[in-house]
Amino acid sequence: MNSYDEKIGKLPENTPLLRIGSVQLDGCAFLAPMSGVTDLYMRRIARRFGASLVVSEMVASDEYVRGDVETRLRAEGTGVEPHVVQIAGSVGYWMGEAARLAEASGAAIVDINMGCPAKRVTGGAAGSALMRDLDHALSLIEATVKAVKIPVTLKMRLGWDHDSLNAAELAQKAEKSGIQLVTVHGRTRQQFYTGKADWQAIAAVKDAVKIPVIANGDCSTVADAVRMQQLSHADGVMIGRSAVGRPWFIGEVAHFQRFGYERAGPSADERAASAIEHLSGLVGQMGSLKGLRHARKHLAAYAERAIFDGFHVPDHIKSSLVTSESVEHVMALLDELFAAPGLRNVA
């Protein structure tokens, strides 16, 4: 295990636990919302391993209110506490109604997406496109905040492009409109996911507001999380792609933030149980074939992560995990993966 000062670095003194309005958190490391990825079962597993907060996949506000089945499933939070629903849209009426529905369905927090760079989202004047029109963005924030009693948070990027780095301005105005926490991805929309996240640029947002600020982008190790907080001056970190295949990683970061040393990684049995639970949940929710196909990105990531961490994964398992259309066969492969001869766990 790495020590607090010698191998990784040092967090700010007296790093506090975060509070979002009336919601007290038990740490400062969050799982990011990722469309098609952060399903209910990934969120449950991450939370159980110690993630301080997990956020639903982004849901389109109008589709959510109209009762679209898949959208409702993405917003499901049974077994997750506190439950956070992230909504997106460009019309105040639908944003307010979506927030009301989320609150009535048990959400403790509603998060507004103003950071998604996908063309299908920005083309509808939602997501990060809203950073080009702060007046409209604020009208959506106000409609959402006024609709509910629970806290509302906001996720954004640094700006639309490097000629309009207006995250600090948006955060300042959002705070005045009742937003109680902001998360900033350290890229512009035009960067999508290219280059490197600029953690230091997030510090301007932290300097502009009194509410908590969370830094997001390119955090793949505990050392990254520490460096991200040092450079951004943020109150916590949000982790996305690096948690796929290792939903326990966010909890490892939260543990280091709180106690100053790295905890041991999950055992082979814990990894196997997580992968099987994840698959079983998706199959139960979506049906055998659809659930299995949806799970493939996760199954491939569990296997790749096992290889990276020093496990022996036979080639036939890697390929069959993402091609087999038999749930029973895939379950057997997962058992075999984590019980294969030569298996070793490098914690």
For the annotated catalytic residues, the residue numbers are: 116
CA distance 145 to 133: 19
CA 278 to chain centre: 16
> What contacts 67, CB < 8 A, 6 or more positions away?
none
The sign one gets for the Cα dihedral 209, 213, 218, 221 is: positive
Closest CA to 148 of 55, 23, 27: 23
Output the six-digit token pair for 343. Answer: 């298996």
> What contacts 275, CB < 8 A, 6 or more positions away?
298, 299, 302, 334, 337, 338
CA distance 309 to 328: 26
Provide the 10 A C-beta neighbour count for residue 242. Answer: 18
Q: Are 87 and 116 in contact (CB under 8 A)?
A: no
Q: Are 147 and 139 in contact (CB under 8 A)?
A: no
CA 73 to chain centre: 17
Burial of 132 (0-12, 13-18, 19+ CB in 10 A): middle
Q: Are 212 and 18 in contact (CB under 8 A)?
A: yes
The CA–CA distances, whole Å, from 48 to 96, 107, 117, 335 equal: 31, 18, 30, 21
The CA–CA distances, whole Å, from 280 to 49, 82, 267, 273, 313 equal: 18, 23, 20, 10, 21
Closest CA to 76 of 51, 96, 98, 106: 106
